Structure 1
Amino acid sequence: MRPIIGITSYVLPASWGVWVDLPTALVPHDYAEAVRLAGGRAVLLPPDDLDADVLDRLDGLVLAGGPDLVPAHYGQQTGPHTVTHPERDTAELLLLRAALDRDLPLLGVCRGMQLLAVAAGGTLHQHLPDLLGHEKHRPAPGVYGSQSAGFAPGSRIAALMGDDTTINCFHHQGVSDPGSLTVTGWADDGLPEAVEDPARRFVLGVQWHPEVGRDRRLFGALVAASEENR
């Protein structure tokens, strides 16, 4: 049996067939396909803040991308460019903390990396153009910013990425303080692009979107760690 990998999801209005603007639990199919191609079985996890018992059935967890976190989680007021879905924060922080307690292998993507940092006691920049003076991390609606990242020698992410250091980003927020996590990757403007927890079996957050290219390096590493977890 393949390792079962949970993927957190949005709840948004969606339309298909005769149905219009129906509240729908969804993620881009790239996530599920990236897990499948890496040898795992993807399971969608809609927001649910009652408990984290679903982790009993999972071998690994992906914290998917999505809207901004509520800044109160890291001690700030909401800025003018911040758009939140509080129900995701509550449910995913519950899952994340329970997964960390179990040492469950997990991969945080974009928002997921930010969630990892906040859960570790860190903080975020709420709008990168105000800090960096450019829009390279989110160049246009629906357009990924392609750039090259640098990685800390000896880190997990450096070993996984190898010589191909191209990343595809779409975010307007970023990690300011990683809390107890270790920053192991940076964009050329110095923004953190990867965080890790070396004290745990597999906790990796990346600010870019490896699922878009169905990157078997990162998803393969998650699935491999999840196989060991069974």
Structure 2
Amino acid sequence: MSLVGDKPIIGIILDENTSQGGASYDTGKGYFRAIEKAGGVALGLPYAPESLDFARTYCAGLMSTGARIKFPSEWYVPGQESYAPQSDRFAIERALVETFLAEDRPYLGICNGMQMLGCLSGCRMSGDAKSYTDGSIAHDDRTTRHGLKVTSGTKLHAITGLDHLQVNSFHREALVEISDQVIVSGFSDDGLVEAIERPDRRFALGVQWHPERLIDETADADALFGAFVTAASDWAKASRLPPSTL
């Protein structure tokens, strides 16, 4: 039941207002608009155990949004840890991502979602991204636009058709140790890992920037969501699930 008509249902993990105690879900509309523009049906997933059952039943794809939540200390390089707030998002998000990866359902991780993909695939993070750069790019700044080198032969390269992108950037943490389970598909011009993918999955891709904010500015942002929705549609049709009656 992962199609509405011929449109795949995409589950989107909701964000929350962690800066105000996490009392409210607080997710940008851009995530939903990007999926809808690409031809999918976007549904928000709250932090409840039932979200996992719902997603497995109805969702052909999963998208993880940006966030600043505490990750386990062992996901960081030695001597570092997260200073972000605790969130009940972590447990359900981890369960969702692990399930979709195990079942080879399409997954797109944005910002926090890329870090989740990376750490569940053996990578490690730093909570101080700027210490791994020359300081030429202000990564934790919503107004920043910077260059990104796309790795030839990757899924991201095939999707965008470009060797170089202009992206936004607002993050304090970054993946700095990369495992052999993933390949790096994009580096910022100052050397930070900004995109990864799992070559052993049909579509498991993470980006550090926020392409949902660029869908009216750059064709590559549209192309990324289009490829994700197409992969979800293909998965749903291959699974021979009937259209949803939702």
Aligned partners of 2:132 and 2:192 also within 8 Å? no
Distance 1:192 1:7, change over 3 A: same
Q: Verify: 1:156 aligned to 2:161, yes or no.
A: no
- Extract unaligned runs of 5+ from structure 2: 216-220, 237-246
Distance 1:3 1:149, change over 3 A: same
- Extract unaligned runs of 5+ from structure 1: 16-20
Q: More deviation in 199-208 or 64-73?
A: 64-73
Distance 1:11 1:199, change over 3 A: same
Q: Residues of 2 paired with 1:118 and 1:223: CA distance?
A: 24
Q: Residues of 2 paired with 1:135 and 1:87: CA distance?
A: 35
Distance 1:82 1:159, change over 3 A: same
Q: Secondary structure at the match of 1:195?
A: strand
> Match of 1:175?
175
Residue 216 of structure 1, aligned match among 206, 222, 226: 222
Distance 1:121 1:69, change over 3 A: farther
> Match of 2:195?
194
Q: More deviation in 159-168 or 171-180?
A: 159-168
Q: Could you tell me how far 1:49 is from its partner in structure 2?
A: 4.2
Q: Secondary structure at the match of 1:165?
A: strand
Q: Percent identity?
A: 29
Q: Secondary structure at the match of 2:24?
A: strand
Q: Verify: 1:39 aligned to 2:44, yes or no.
A: no
Matches within 5 A, 1:71-90: 71-74=72-75, 79=81, 82-90=83-91
Q: Residues of 1 paired with 2:16 and 2:172: CA distance?
A: 21
Q: Could you tell me how far 1:46 is from its partner in structure 2?
A: 1.4
Q: Could you tell me how far 1:220 is from its partner in structure 2?
A: 0.5
Q: Could you tell me how far 1:135 is from its partner in structure 2?
A: 7.1
How many positions carry a matched residue from both structures? 222
Aligned partners of 1:14 and 1:24 also within 8 Å? no
Q: TM-score, normalised by structure 1?
A: 0.87
Matches within 5 A, 1:52-63: 52-54=52-54, 55-63=56-64
Over the aligned positions, Cα root-mean-square deviation in angstroms equals 2.4
Q: Verify: 1:110 aligned to 2:111, yes or no.
A: yes
Q: Could you tell me how far 1:63 is from its partner in structure 2?
A: 0.8
Distance 1:82 1:132, change over 3 A: farther
Q: Residues of 1 paired with 2:27 and 2:51: CA distance?
A: 21
Q: Could you tell me how far 1:13 is from its partner in structure 2?
A: 7.7
Q: Residues of 2 paired with 1:135 and 1:13: CA distance?
A: 29
Q: Secondary structure at the match of 1:95?
A: helix
Q: Residues of 1 paired with 2:71 and 2:79: CA distance?
A: 9
Distance 1:130 1:201, change over 3 A: same
Q: Secondary structure at the match of 1:86?
A: coil
Q: Secondary structure at the match of 1:104?
A: coil
> Match of 1:11?
16
Aligned partners of 1:82 and 1:127 also within 8 Å? no
Distance 1:69 1:159, change over 3 A: farther
Residue type at the aligned position of 2:171? H
Q: Residues of 2 paired with 1:125 and 1:22: CA distance?
A: 23
Q: Secondary structure at the match of 2:12?
A: strand
**For 1:176-224, what per-residue CA distance to the aligned partner results, in whole angstroms no more than 9, with x for missing partners?**
1232211111011211111011111000001111000122211101100
Matches within 5 A, 1:100-139: 100-134=101-135, 136-139=137-140
> Match of 1:18?
none
**For 1:91-143, what per-residue CA distance to the aligned partner results, in whole angstroms no more than 9, with x for missing partners?**
11110001111111010001100000111121101111233252724354xx2
Q: Could you tell me how far 1:148 is from its partner in structure 2?
A: 1.1
